[in-house]
Amino acid sequence: MIITRTPFRISFAGGGSDIKDYYQEYGGAVLSVTIDKYVYLSMHPYFDENAYLLKYLKTEQCNDVEEIQHHIIKDVFKKYNIKGVDFNSSADIPAGTGLASSSAFTVGLVNLCNAFTGKYMDKEEIAELACEIEIEDLNEPIGKQDQYACSCGGLNYIEFQKNGNVDVEKLYLSNDSYKKLENNLLMFYTGISRKTGSILTEQKSNIPNKAKTLHKMVQLAKDLKKELLNGNISAAGTLLNQGWCYKKELASKISSSELDDIYNTAIQNGALGGKLLGAGGGGFFLFYVEDDYKDKVRKALLNLKEINFKFDNKGTNIVYYNKVELYRSFA
């Protein structure tokens, strides 16, 4: 039995600049952090050496890899020639809520299959293979930030070079600054789950006309990095607010009157800024709120579910490995 644990992420600034159509012409940058909400994947040899038992939101029992309906599992298992396994997935947060659940799943599965087959990759190599799987193999209309964030873990400034290379810079804040940033972020579930494909497809097609907006969002990521390293943590609120205004320009369904009402309520009650996480359209709102206003914001948003969290610094990792049970060769 092997179990991997991979964190979800929250993105502060620069989202959208990690899409190939943008960064290959201009270069991109995002700033994000992983949190202590995870997807857990486990796998061990199945009794039938040539079959598959897969348990996630649904259960599949297959005799051939081509029969697998879950497109990510199917693609990864084919890459690693995995067969004869019992696979399980569970998560702290449901999919479709803006916390990069799909990329966390892919990263965790690559890590799991590496351990299962005795292969080694560092975390950036895991992230790049996850990008290849989601973007190249499965043609998802997404960028590269989520795979690198979930794989590497921690508070990172991530740059996307024109040639496709990705540079991950860990941001090391003072203990006081780190705790202030962590403690002043509040996250609320809007109750709206959405499929991001249509939003991301529109956003991707809009890139030629929205390049100037994305330039501003990249600059916000750079500005936020500078402010955090200088200990000006409250600047996160102002920059989140600016970023949310820019983000809404990228596609028509990123926000709605209902979502705007939630955002405006938080601002009117003391939040300095915030944003919908992920592609938008629903999921989680993140707000930056100083201590004096937290109770007021929570009271104003009482009808929304708040999710308490701390930052994660480990990224994807193996949390259980029982070598004895791996009694077959998966060459």
Q: Give the separation between CA 180 and CA 116, rounded to whole angstroms.
A: 40
| Strand ranges inside the chain, DSSP E | 2-13, 28-45, 52-55, 59-62, 85-91, 155-160, 166-170, 185-189, 273-276, 284-288, 305-306, 311-312, 317-321
Instruction: Determine how β-strand 85-91 pairs with β-strand 52-55.
Output: parallel
Q: Give the separation between CA 240 and CA 236, rounded to whole angstroms.
A: 6
Is residue 81 exposed (0-12), middle (13-18) or buried (19+ Cβ within 10 Å)? exposed
CA dihedral for 176, 181, 183, 184, sign (positive or negative) = positive
Do residues 65 and 165 make contact, with C-beta atoms less than 8 angstroms apart?
Answer: no
> Closest Cα to residue 250, out of 8, 11, 12, 19?
19
List residues bridging with 311 in a β-sheet.
Answer: 35
> Closest Cα to residue 217, out of 246, 251, 240?
246
Catalytic residue among 146, 167, 176, 291: 146
Do residues 237 and 211 make contact, with C-beta atoms less than 8 angstroms apart?
Answer: no
Is residue 73 exposed (0-12), middle (13-18) or buried (19+ Cβ within 10 Å)? buried
* Catalytic status, residue 146: yes
Q: Give the separation between CA 98 and CA 96, rounded to whole angstroms.
A: 6
Q: What is the largest CA-CA distance in the chain?
A: 61
- Residues with a known catalytic role: 146
